[in-house]
């Protein structure tokens, strides 16, 4: 590693420790030329796919946007934040494991809706009303009727 002080290309690691969050390694290094010390951090490079939006734009996968949307849908509902975070962790892991370079935003939205349907039906309807952009009350009522029919099948 190049020394940030003198530019010499040979440094040695003096100490290595796990970072505070546990997802990186903190290394103390010493330049073999000027003998000054500095700190570097090493972390795993995550390879998440780009999200292709409805209008064709591409943006980086952002777990915080998914968590924020789910939290808004679950506001004042008995859904613990840990349940939401666990779902997003699982979603993120499956996207990494898929190896895909791009993923359609609709696939992510559908996965979120499916998860919310299992967590809390009110949160599901809230999310669906924004995500599906119902044009009128009839579309919204149709969705509610589907939920009620499925709840009746489950014996709820």
Position 136 in a domain: yes
**Is residue 136 domain-shared with residue 94, that is, in the same domain?**
yes
**Is residue 81 domain-shared with residue 146, that is, in the same domain?**
yes
Report pLDDT digits (tens) over 104-145.
Answer: 998 999 899 899 989 998 898 888 877 777 667 777 777 778
Report pLDDT digits (tens) over 27-78.
Answer: 999 999 999 999 998 877 667 899 999 899 999 999 999 999 999 999 999 9
Which of 65, 84, 82 lies closest to 123, judged by CA? 84
Position 19 in a domain: yes
**121 against 21, higher pLDDT:** 121
- Please tell me the predicted confidence (pLDDT) of residue 37: 97
**Is residue 63 domain-shared with residue 88, that is, in the same domain?**
yes
Whole-model pTM: value is 0.62
**Is residue 95 domain-shared with residue 18, that is, in the same domain?**
no
- Angle, helices 63-73/121-131, rounded to nearest 10 degrees: 120
- Please tell me the predicted confidence (pLDDT) of residue 47: 78
Which of 49, 51, 67, 47 lies closest to 59, judged by CA? 51
- In DSSP notation, 19-74 reads -TTSSEEEEEEEETTT--EEEEEEEPPP-PPEEE-TTS-EEE--HHHHHHHHHHHT
Position 99 in a domain: yes
**Is residue 36 domain-shared with residue 56, that is, in the same domain?**
no
**Is residue 54 domain-shared with residue 103, that is, in the same domain?**
yes
**Is residue 106 domain-shared with residue 141, that is, in the same domain?**
yes
Radius of gyration, CA atoms only, the chain:
23
**Is residue 17 domain-shared with residue 81, that is, in the same domain?**
no
Position 4 in a domain: no
Using CA atoms, how far residue 43 sits from 25, 107, 129, in Å, is 6, 29, 39
Token reading at 15 = 């100490």
**Is residue 68 domain-shared with residue 131, that is, in the same domain?**
yes
Position 1 in a domain: no
Stretch 150-154: mean pLDDT: 65
Number of domain units in the chain: 2
Full residue range of the structural domain in which residue 98 is found: 50-154
């Amino acid at each position: 590693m190049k020394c940030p002080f003198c530019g010499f290309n040979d440094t040695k690691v003096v100490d290595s420790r796990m970072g505070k969050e546990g997802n990186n390694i903190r290394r103390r290094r010493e330049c073999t030329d000027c003998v000054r010390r500095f700190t570097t951090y090493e972390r795993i490079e995550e390879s998440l796919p780009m999200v292709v939006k409805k209008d064709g734009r591409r943006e980086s996968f952002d777990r915080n946007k998914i968590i924020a949307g789910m939290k808004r849908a679950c506001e004042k509902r008995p859904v613990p934040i840990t349940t939401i975070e666990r779902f997003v962790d699982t979603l993120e892991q499956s996207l990494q494991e898929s190896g895909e370079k791009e993923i359609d935003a609709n696939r992510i939205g559908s996965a979120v809706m499916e998860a919310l349907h299992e967590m809390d039906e009110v949160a599901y309807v809230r999310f669906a009303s924004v995500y599906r952009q119902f044009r009128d009350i009839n579309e919204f009522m149709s969705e509610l009727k589907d939920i009620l029919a499925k709840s009746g099948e489950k014996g709820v």
